[in-house]
Copies of this chain bind each other. A is one copy, B any other.
Amino acid sequence: MSTAAGTPSTDPPESLVYLLKHAHLRLNELVAAELAEHPVSGRELAVLTVVAGNEPISQQQAAARLGVDRTTMVALLDELERKQLLSRHPNPADRRVNIVEMTPRGETVRAEARAAADRAEGRFLAALEPDTAAGLKRALRTVLRG
């Protein structure tokens, strides 16, 4: 028993808050569906993505790049380490700091999950012309810089 909360039946408000909230919800659903057979959630994929960059980073750097609190990052990393997709090691130069690194399996999972998430993004944007979709992302990047 439920109201189809994800599918407003009539007259959705035009406010930008509404549009951003429901666009985010919709895309999250599509990503979750594409990742259903993968061993990571969308949030976990985001963590793998920032950790997979060139130089190794600390937990706090990973949290800052994702825009989440460092206490939130702890639980995310706990789970990814449990799945053996990444590892934590104290930085010898400053043993308060944990360096986070991908495992080989983590890199494989990340690449496959990234492809699945990109398919979800493609389906989300399917109703837009390619240059309109690019314009949407560019506009969002611009407002987030401001």
**A interface residue numbers (CB < 8 A to B):** 2-28, 31, 42, 46, 49-50, 53, 60-61, 63-70, 72, 117, 121, 124-128, 132-133, 135-137, 139-146
**Known interface pairs A16-B124, A20-B20, A22-B67. Does A139 touch B135 (Cβ–Cβ under 8 Å)?**
yes
Tell me the number of copies of this protein.
2
- Contact indicator B128/A64 (Cβ below 8 Å): no
Q: Are the CB atoms of B143 and A124 closer together than 8 Å?
A: yes
Q: How far is the CA of A15 from the CA of B141 in the complex (A)?
A: 10
Chain B residues closer than 8 Å to A126, beta-carbon distance? 146
By the criterion CB–CB under 8 Å, are A3 and B46 in contact?
no
- Chain B residues lying within 8 Å of A136, measured Cβ to Cβ, are 135-136, 139-140
CB contacts (< 8 Å) of A16 on chain B: these are 27, 121, 124-125, 137, 140
- Shortest CB-to-CB span from A87 to chain B, Å, is 21
